[in-house]
Amino acid sequence: MQTLDETRRKELDDRLNQPLAVGGRTVSTRLWLAPLAGLGNAAYRQVLGEYGGCGLTFTEMCGAKSVPTENPRVSSVFRWSEGELPHLVCQVAGATPEEMIPAARRVQECGFFGFDINMGCSVSGIVKKNAGAGLLRDPDAALRVVEAVRRTISIPLFIKFRTGWSPDIEPAAKLAKQFENAGADCLVFHPRVAPDKRTRPPVRHHIKAIVDAVSIPVFGNGDVITDRDCLEMLETTGCAGVSVGRMAIAQPWLFREWTSDYAPPADRFQDYALRLADALDQHFDPVRALKRFKLFTIYFAANFTFGHALQSRFLGAKSMDDIRNVARNHVHPGMQMVKRPNMNMYNI
């Protein structure tokens, strides 16, 4: 899905391929995978790595209370391949320093590139525990968590956060500066209020307010669908880079496509579905693998004009072999695609 002309694509390539220093470490590109609960699992990241072009990847959201004793061979979220660690950040949700300190220590001991504090998740079960976006209701509590984690680890410290619980950007900009003063190395900002389940567009110019408030790198996030969206976010907000979420699930080759002259092959969608099925079988038991694949189908099917029908076929599968049969028989070159993936499907 290339919408920029050759000159503008070269501008995007040049911006995204500038190495970036984060907490004393260097990241090769400025196009990163956003943390995605249920989707950014080890199997998906394996497939993403095969396509290439992604500067940093993030784990699914891990619970602070679980991480200190979690077994990576058994856990569905605190799981990785050794080869990922030099460019993998572990995202953790917790409400207090007492919860986060042991988790941060474990993440550093495991060899992750960095530690990411989740202050963006607005799922009610997380918010009720004062974790995720719930921390934004109490800036002092949020700062105590950041300060405690910073004292505990030396690896880069990231914070993913939203505007907050009101549309006013000034409190978020003030908090961003406080995060920097507390030792954060990089901020990933999603310019929506916490309760918004993507019913309204992100307020993109709010990213610039965060960028202007701090001297550490700020990555923009939210509704980056095309290469044009990516370049416009960089140009209009001054952000250091872009964090891509849902679109990375729909088209994982976009990282390589937007950072080079790579043109994905005609059979890319079938190839992707089959690669992901194999990777899920490798990393998870059959029941969990099937469930994870079905979560992915919403984003995969959103690429196509008749995506709902394709998704229904996948959802009717009873096994991973059924999934492969659907991919082989119903995903093929020449399928009618939408200009922009169907956002109504994204919001299911």
**Structural contact between residues 249 and 224, judged by C-beta atoms closer than 8 angstroms:** no
Q: Residues 125, 149, 42, 68: is their CA dihedral positive or negative? A: negative
**Structural contact between residues 149 and 191, judged by C-beta atoms closer than 8 angstroms:** no
Q: Which of 90, 121, 230, 239 is catalytic?
A: 121
Strand-strand pairing, 25-27 and 20-22: antiparallel
Name, in order, each residue with C-beta under 8 angstroms of 326's C-beta and a sequence gap of 6 or more.
Answer: 310, 313, 314, 317
Q: Residues 246, 117, 176, 174: is their CA dihedral positive or negative? A: positive
Residue type, 320: M
**Structural contact between residues 153 and 108, judged by C-beta atoms closer than 8 angstroms:** yes
Name, in order, each residue with C-beta under 8 angstroms of 40's C-beta and a sequence gap of 6 or more.
Answer: 33, 34, 57, 58, 59, 60
Is 54 in the active site?
no
- Catalytic sites, residue numbers: 121
